[in-house]
């Protein structure tokens, strides 16, 4: 009986996420409240401007593993459109092979990062991104989807879309802690390598010939030191055990 209830609750959650994944960017509302504008300067970018700006780097938005960081992501207007473009490419190339689709969809999702100073924005951004991911995934594999794939996506978003202040590079609570991002690297097909870095370390270059978390466009690269290093894990098992540190 408990298993049936869990499956029912999971189905309802996926239905809600699919509905979120089909919505327009912020539905035309750029201001949540005058108070938020006064306190945080929060004005959400309209859909037309989002697409116009992303079209300036169109090739990168359609490259599955191209990494993007939005340091003031709000509710995710830019990130949602970037993910949508990536998933369209994944679908066009790999839809006939479910495992390949899942692998590259997760890779595309894992390349998207965001920070916002408002906690409700962070949760909304995560929900919208998971909604887009779920919408495309279930649209293609509704009768044979793997819950593990959606759970892996949810876990990645919990590590990639973070509550923080980019001016201090720390969380904006009573006991600030450093903002820490996870780097996800595909290894040997379906395996994923995770390494965690402080945001501050990513902004303090130490010259190296190797690329780093956000240095993949050909510019001079540097290699920060991770604060945590995790063993290889199958991408469908991401989030099952977040304590298996090396």
Looking at residue 4, what is its pLDDT? 38
Residues spanned by the domain of 42: 2-167
32 assigned to some structural domain: yes
Condensed to tens digits (0 to 9), the pLDDT of residues 49-87 reads 878 888 999 999 999 999 999 999 999 999 999 999 999
CB atoms within 10 A of CB 105: 25
Q: Give the SS3 label for residue 242.
A: coil
Looking at residue 202, what is its pLDDT? 87
Angle, vertex CA 174, rays to CA 170 and CA 175, nearest 5: 60
pLDDT band at 16 (very low <50, low <70, confident <90, very high): low
Condensed to tens digits (0 to 9), the pLDDT of residues 95-114 reads 999 999 999 999 999 999 99
d(CA 142, CA 119): 32
177 assigned to some structural domain: no
Q: Give the SS3 label for residue 155.
A: helix
Looking at residue 94, what is its pLDDT? 97
Identify the CA nearest to 132 among candidates 49, 75, 94: 75
173 assigned to some structural domain: no
11 assigned to some structural domain: yes
CB atoms within 10 A of CB 235: 23
234 assigned to some structural domain: no
- pTM summary value: 0.79
175 assigned to some structural domain: no
80 assigned to some structural domain: yes
Q: How many domains, in total, are found in the chain?
A: 1
Looking at residue 13, what is its pLDDT? 60
Looking at residue 188, what is its pLDDT? 86
23 assigned to some structural domain: yes
d(CA 177, CA 91): 38
């Amino acid at each position: 009986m408990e298993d049936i209830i869990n499956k029912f609750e999971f189905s309802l959650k996926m239905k809600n996420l699919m509905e979120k994944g089909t919505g327009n960017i912020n539905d035309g509302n750029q201001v949540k409240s005058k108070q938020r504008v006064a306190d945080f300067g929060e004005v959400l970018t309209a859909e037309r401007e989002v697409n116009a700006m992303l079209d300036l780097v169109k090739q990168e938005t359609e490259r599955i593993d191209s990494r993007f960081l939005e340091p003031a992501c709000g509710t995710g207007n830019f990130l949602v459109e970037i993910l949508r473009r990536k998933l369209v490419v994944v679908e066009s190339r790999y839809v006939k092979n479910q495992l390949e689709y899942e692998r590259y969809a997760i890779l595309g999702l894992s390349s998207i990062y965001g920070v916002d100073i408002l906690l409700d924005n962070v949760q909304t951004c995560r929900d919208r991104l998971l909604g887009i991911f779920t919408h495309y995934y279930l649209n293609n594999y509704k009768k044979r989807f793997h819950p593990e794939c959606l759970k892996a996506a949810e876990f990645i978003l919990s590590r990639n879309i973070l509550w923080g202040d980019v001016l201090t590079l720390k969380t904006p609570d009573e006991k600030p802690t450093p903002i820490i991002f996870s780097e996800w690297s595909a290894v040997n097909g379906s395996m994923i390598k995770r390494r965690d870095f402080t945001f501050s370390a990513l902004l303090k270059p130490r010259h190296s010939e190797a690329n780093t978390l956000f240095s993949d466009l050909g510019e001079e690269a540097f290699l920060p030191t991770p604060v945590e290093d995790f063993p290889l894990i199958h991408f469908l098992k991401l989030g099952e055990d977040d304590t298996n540190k090396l």
